[in-house]
Amino acid sequence: MSARVVVFLRHGHSLWNLTDRFTGWTDVALTGIGIVEAEFAGLELAARGHHFDEAHVSLLRRTRQTALAVLAVTGDTMAPVHATWRLNERHYGALQGLNKREIFATWGEARSRAWWRGYHAPPPALDADDPRHPRFDARYADLDPALLPAGESLADCQRRVLPYWRDVLLPRIAAGRRLLVVSHGNTLRALVMHLDGLTPEAMEHLEIPAARPLIYRFDDSLAVAAKEWGG
């Protein structure tokens, strides 16, 4: 098996999935279902012979929980887990914490769907004094406040995550490190759009299923050589 492999994984079922709420940067935990989903992903990866030298997750606990469950099953419990805000989910701004019914009632279905499926349009931003704003969250206290979003389009999310891909993940892949990257639906959509060269229109139809491994292999020039879905 080629050493230049990275496995992307969207976290499993979380508490706000139960009420169909837009989670974004809200730090909610996995449900029991989500833990089991992560364990099944780990079983599949282990059956395919995958092991990991390190994992990369967001600063939101649902990704760390997913990564730890996978690593426990693959037997890679000593692998370090690196957490970064750049792998956080897209920030949904004023939509965060609301369910689809509430959002449709406030802004209309057509506009709302453009916000969460499209590439360019950002959702309504949070006010600076809104308690949901990340500047009030201690985990971001060391970041320049100018970096903290009050709401992001997918394009904004992609601009946030690509420096981590280029500056942190790619050099590790080049060095032969076997990576598990556990993140969120929109963050992974942004990465896949970049890796596969998708247009914004094609990206709108891209889905990243929860807890289903997405395996990329790279050649010596770090170009994508192969891609396959697990499960």
Query: Do 212 and 10 meet the contact criterion of CB atoms below 8 Å apart?
Result: yes
Gyration radius from the chain CA atoms: 17
Please state whether 145 falls in left (phi above 0), alpha (psi between -120 and 50) or beta: alpha
How many CB atoms lie under 10 A from the CB of residue 229? 10
How far apart CA 161 and CA 186 sit, in angstroms, is 10
Identify the active-site residue in 44, 89, 133, 184: 89
**Residue 11 annotated as catalytic:** yes
Place of tokens 């990564």: 67
CA atoms within 13 A on the CB side of 207: 4
**Residue 201 annotated as catalytic:** no
Active site residues: 11, 89
